[in-house]
């Protein structure tokens, strides 16, 4: 396990109290808290180096560009990208997937084509494909999940028989905690002639990602879920695909030459980064990656799966609790319901004890329909959580059970 006492000391927000209680932050799948090193890196950038990036002829602008591009180098190393040019900065997973749907999708998907997603995908890995399919007259096929919350590989195989153009799936489910066999899914997608799009939003913060080993074509993630600022993230893509794709946004910086009636494009990845970029996001993301690498991603993953095991064991002891998702191959995400207490009521009551959990459909409505529930409560762990946090969760839940007269 990680030394959570020293990790917690790095996160100023964790020193605050909630209703007179220690803050127990268990909503990390939604967003993570930020360590002082990230906050300091952003402040340092604004204090000493801020200017608009690229094309600057003065020292400050060169320094700002270096800081921005250092963030790209850090991301490339973190996910073992094919090259620095394979990293396109975006606002996060949602924008990254929309970029692929708009650029690669619009160019390559024709009427009658198929796009495959899974029933455990987040809306941001479903809705962009729905929009694309509606525009192009293509069909979206959703692969079913098994009883124990995994991608149904038989149904995945059947979906591939129609030779889809795109197959998209999550590395880790934000609503079940399932860790999917992404290299295997990618191999199968390629054998069917499709490109593979991996939603890495719940993977990059929590486990060691190697996009070359997965061999996926596109990998999307969000920085704010991994210690970095809101509005940070990237799309990682095979450089040859990026070279062949048309731009996503038109504007400054993404061009090579602009004539009265047409323009030519900048080199990758700048072709996809029109306008003034979020430099602070790249700086913060670089600092977040340095922090995570210092802890070691294998230790981060071990720490969180150990916490998930303890949480599942303790929650199972509460009579009316139902836990969703598989028992193994899971990340530090524990979704549950408690008798007939509405998850929103549960989250509100837990807040009185300083325990922050999320309640709702978690942007996975198709999955909720398959689980037969409108909503679940979800505790999700990160590097600063420990067994004391699980104890706080369990004792706050027992209090809620007493309040609602649900067997505890």
**Active-site residue set:** 363
Least separation in angstroms between CB 258 and ligand PLP: 31
Instruction: Give the other-Cβ count within 10 Å of 101's Cβ.
Output: 25
For 64, phi then psi, to 5°, come to -65, -40
Q: How far is the CB of 28 from ligand PLP (least distance, A)?
A: 10
CB 29 to ligand PLP: min, Å: 6
**Please, what is the minimum distance in Å from the beta carbon of residue 54 to ligand PLP?**
25
Instruction: Specify the residue, 24 or 198, whose C-beta has the smaller distance to ligand PLP.
Output: 198
The nearest distance, CB 403 to ligand PLP, in angstroms, is 29
DSSP for 232-256, written as a single string: -EEEEE-HHHHHHSPPSS-STTSEE
d(CA 254, CA 242): 13
Q: Which is nearer to ligand PLP, 169 or 341 (CB)?
A: 169
Q: Are 397 and 355 in contact (CB under 8 A)?
A: no
Give the integer Cα–Cα distance in Å for 232 and 32. 13
32 or 337, CB closer to ligand PLP? 32
Q: Which residues bind ligand PLP (CB under 6 A)?
A: 29, 92-94, 122, 124-125, 170, 174, 199, 201-202, 222
Cβ neighbourhood burial of 373 (10 Å; 0-12, 13-18, 19+): middle
Q: Which is nearer to ligand PLP, 346 or 363 (CB)?
A: 363
Q: Which is nearer to ligand PLP, 35 or 92 (CB)?
A: 92
Placement of tokens 């340095």 in the chain: 290
Helices 36-48, 279-295: inter-axial angle, 10-degree rounding: 140
- Of the two residues 205 and 401, which places its CB atom closer to ligand PLP in the complex? 205
Q: CA-to-CA distance for 130 and 139, rounded, in angstroms?
A: 8
CA distance 189 to 98: 20
Strands (E), 161-232: 166-170, 195-199, 218-222
Report DSSP state, residue 103. Answer: I
Nearest distance in Å: CB 217, ligand PLP:
17
């Amino acid at each position: 396990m990680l030394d959570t006492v020293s990790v917690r000391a790095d996160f100023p927000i964790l020193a605050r109290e909630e209703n007179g209680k220690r803050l127990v932050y268990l909503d990390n799948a939604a967003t993570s808290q930020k360590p002082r090193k990230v906050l300091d890196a952003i402040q340092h950038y604004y204090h000493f180096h801020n200017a608009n990036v690229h094309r600057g002829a003065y020292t400050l602008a060169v320094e700002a560009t270096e800081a921005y591009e250092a963030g790209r180098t850090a991301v490339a190393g973190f996910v073992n990208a094919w090259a620095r040019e394979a990293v396109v900065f975006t606002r996060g997973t949602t924008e990254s997937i929309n970029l692929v749907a708009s650029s690669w999708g619009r160019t390559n998907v024709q009427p009658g084509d198929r796009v495959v997603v899974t029933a455990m995908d987040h809306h941001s890995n479903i809705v962009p494909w729905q929009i694309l399919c509606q525009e192009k007259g293509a069909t979206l096929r959703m692969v079913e999940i098994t009883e124990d919350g995994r991608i149904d590989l038989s149904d995945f195989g059947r979906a591939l028989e129609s030779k889809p153009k795109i197959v998209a799936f999550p590395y880790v489910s934000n609503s079940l905690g399932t860790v999917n066999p992404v290299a295997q899914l990618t191999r199968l997608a390629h054998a069917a002639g499709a490109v593979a799009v991996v939603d890495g939003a719940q993977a990059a913060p929590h486990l060691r990602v190697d996009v070359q080993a997965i061999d996926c074509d596109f990998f999307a993630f969000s920085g704010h879920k991994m210690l970095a600022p809101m509005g940070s993230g990237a799309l990682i893509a095979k450089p040859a695909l990026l070279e062949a794709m048309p731009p996503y946004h038109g504007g400054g910086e993404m061009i090579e030459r602009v004539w009265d009636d047409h323009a030519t494009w900048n080199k990758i990845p700048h072709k996809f980064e029109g306008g003034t970029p979020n430099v602070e996001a790249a700086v913060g993301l670089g600092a977040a990656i340095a922090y995570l690498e210092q802890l070691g991603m294998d230790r981060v993953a071990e720490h969180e799966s150990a916490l998930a095991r303890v949480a599942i064991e303790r929650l199972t002891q509460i009579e009316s609790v139902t836990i969703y998702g598989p028992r193994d191959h899971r990340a530090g995400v524990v979704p549950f319901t408690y008798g007939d207490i509405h998850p929103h009521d549960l989250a509100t009551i837990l807040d009185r004890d300083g325990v922050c959990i999320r309640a709702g459909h978690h942007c996975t409505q198709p999955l909720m329909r398959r689980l037969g529930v409108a909503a679940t409560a979800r505790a999700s762990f990160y590097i600063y959580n420990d067994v004391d946090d699980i104890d706080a969760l369990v004792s706050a839940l027992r209090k809620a059970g007493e309040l609602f007269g649900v067997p505890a």
